[in-house]
Amino acid sequence: MFRWKATAATIAIAALALTGCAGAGDEGSGGSDSGRADRLTLTAIIGPTSYDIGQGAEYGNRSPFFQAVFDTLLQKNSDGEIEPWLATKWEYNEDNTVLTLTLRDDVEFTDGTKLDADAVVASLERFRDGTSPQAATLAGKEFAAVDATTVTITQDAPDPSLVNMLSIAPGLIQAPSTFDDPDSATEPIGSGPYVLDTASTVTGTTYVYTANPDYWNPDAVKYDNLTINVIEDPTATLNALKAGEANGAKIVNNDTIPEIEASGWTIESNELDFQGLLLFDRAGTMAPELADVKVRQAINMAFDREALLKALQAGYGTVTEQVFPATSVGYDEALDSTYEYDPEGAKKLLAEAGYPDGFSIDMMSTPAFQTTFDLVAQQLADIGITVNYTDPGTGNFITDMLAPKYPATWMALEQNPDWQLINFMIAPEATFNPFHSQDPKVDEYISTIQLGTKDEADQATKDLNAYLVEQAWFAPFFRVQGTYATDANTNLEFWPTNAYPSIFDFSPKN
């Protein structure tokens, strides 16, 4: 599917043959002198572009590659809650502009150098100043080593997402000794639970890791060896499962779930993404019709969300009309009944807005998701809106969207935690607000969320979500079920906050 960040917006899926990959067999249940199982073999739909955190650090579907070799400052457990990791404590000052982290004093990188406050500051600066997709999340922040085990992060204004960010890509800590090493892109040095076996690894296809013998948290490591095979083609993934060549696999096509379960695999899931229309041009600079809230509301009424979920996701997911996730304090189940499927009512709204005969709108399409685009066009045509599609080419889909070259588009986006979501889709300078739409009420809610007390921020988040639904800034269809399959030898607790499971949440069945 189209994804930004979590799956790096990969669109066209090229078939990859599963060659040269050791079969998983019963490895997941085998023992060793360490008390761990021998090997965990996983499949992923995409591999890392670079292990250098200043260039390629990402989470989402690339997270297991980075989790294997690097530690984060903080960690998320299987419930998505933040826990101590390299940092044992964290505390804000009175106005929430300075975060103080207390570090462990017993951690070394696998090259033998000390992981201390200077190393943490160097890594944070490298991420902030680099080209990684989330580098902007640390923009404007200053880092300082107070002493060997104390780091401060200073910012001009409170950032409610910062603690969460330190548990994912921005919090990854790389050995500074490798910063000037051109081989660091393929030969990572961190303090993580595993060490990349470069001799056995085939970049882009198969990544082989061995357990770090000096890892500071040995009880968290459940396997002596880890292999991650990159298999982009869903059919090849299914064949690998049937052949017993993996213990766990990311499932892209939910319509294969019955066949997977019939083969004895267990399905774990979360709902991280939503799919729907992004109605970007709310001021009507490119499509004047979208400036009228009644038009945007009519568009929301045009879609039979239940039918779309069944047709596009085999029913796996949950219909929704809000972009805030169910885990958000702002989420309100009642908002999902705001716009019933009502083509006739939608036509009336269009007539009230001055478009009794409908209108035409330009949007993008791509052959990789032609069924989706056809259904969107069909349901909009039913209320009198004609969609003129242009295929910009797979590589230009995101670029043209954000240029911006189109007033609206179909998209699948990650439902981030509240402050991240605001700065991702809603704030005037948000990435997925390319027309820089602004509304005084939205600005007021955002300010309260950032600067208010917890109770004030929680209420403002609820109010913001309700207002966005009322004003129809978006036309979401459904939250997609993210699916992961494990074999009979493997336990998994699939956290709710990432597209790929944490490697720490796999364990062998006894």
Report how far apart, in Å, the C-alpha atoms of 22 and of each of 31, 63, 71, 204, 416 are. 18, 22, 27, 16, 36
CB 310 within 8 A of CB 408: no
Q: Are residues 348 and 200 in the same domain?
A: no
Q: Are residues 261 and 281 in the same domain?
A: no
Output the DSSP codes for 340-375: ---HHHHHHHHHHTT-TT-EEEEEE--GGGHHHHHH
- Is residue 6 a part of any domain in this protein? no
d(C-alpha 62, C-alpha 169), whole Å: 10
Instruction: HSE, CB side, 13 Å, CA atoms: give it for residue 349.
Output: 21
Q: What are phi and psi of 39, to 5 degrees?
A: -145, 140
Cis amide prior to 182 (ω within 30 degrees)? no
Q: Are residues 316 and 451 in the same domain?
A: yes
- Is residue 406 a part of any domain in this protein? yes
Report how far apart, in Å, the C-alpha atoms of 109 and of each of 85, 171, 174, 188, 192 are. 15, 15, 8, 10, 8
CB 60 within 8 A of CB 3: yes
- Is residue 165 a part of any domain in this protein? yes
| DSSP symbol at 13 | P
What pLDDT score does 34 carry?
64
Q: Are residues 117 and 132 in the same domain?
A: yes
- Is residue 17 a part of any domain in this protein? no
Report how far apart, in Å, the C-alpha atoms of 451 and of each of 260, 402, 454 are. 48, 29, 9
Sequence-distant (6+) residues with CB within 8 A of 222 are 36, 37, 40, 504, 506, 507, 508
- Identity (one letter) of the amino acid at 85? W
Task: Provide the CATH number for the domain around residue 93.
Answer: 3.40.190.10
Q: Are residues 159 and 181 in the same domain?
A: yes
CB 153 within 8 A of CB 163: no
Q: Are residues 195 and 343 in the same domain?
A: no
Tens digit of pLDDT per residue, the chain (510 long)? 333 343 333 333 232 222 233 334 444 444 555 689 999 999 999 999 999 999 989 898 999 999 999 999 999 999 999 999 999 999 999 999 999 999 999 999 999 999 999 999 999 999 999 998 889 899 999 999 999 999 999 999 999 999 999 999 999 999 999 999 999 999 999 999 999 999 999 999 999 999 999 999 999 999 999 999 999 898 999 999 999 999 999 998 898 999 999 999 999 999 999 999 999 999 999 999 999 999 999 999 999 999 999 999 999 999 999 999 999 999 999 999 999 999 999 999 999 999 999 999 999 998 888 999 999 999 999 999 999 999 999 889 999 999 999 999 999 998 999 999 999 999 999 999 999 999 999 999 999 999 999 999 999 999 999 999 999 999 999 999 999 999 999 999 999 999 999 999 999 997
CB 20 within 8 A of CB 231: no
- Is residue 446 a part of any domain in this protein? yes
CB 18 within 8 A of CB 44: no
pLDDT per residue as tens digits for the range 109-137: 999 999 999 999 999 999 999 998 889 89
Structure tokens at 50: 């670079």
| DSSP symbol at 479 | E
Task: Provide the CATH number for the domain around residue 400.
Answer: 3.10.105.10
- Count how many domains the chain has: 2
Question: Closest Cα partner for 220 from 83, 21, 348?
Answer: 83
d(C-alpha 245, C-alpha 23), whole Å: 4
- Is residue 8 a part of any domain in this protein? no
- Is residue 225 a part of any domain in this protein? yes
Q: Are residues 68 and 54 in the same domain?
A: yes
Q: Are residues 423 and 475 in the same domain?
A: yes
- Is residue 183 a part of any domain in this protein? yes
Q: Are residues 184 and 169 in the same domain?
A: yes
Q: Are residues 501 and 433 in the same domain?
A: no
d(C-alpha 391, C-alpha 363), whole Å: 9
Name the residue range of residue 113's domain: 27-265+487-508
| Alpha-carbon 185 to chain mean position | 22
Q: Are residues 476 and 494 in the same domain?
A: no
How would you label 144-173 residue by residue, b for 16+ Cβ within 10 Å and e otherwise?
A: ebeeebbbbbebeebbbbbbbbbbbbbbbb
Through-space distance between the first and last CA atoms of the chain, rounded to whole angstroms: 36
Q: Are residues 181 and 254 in the same domain?
A: yes
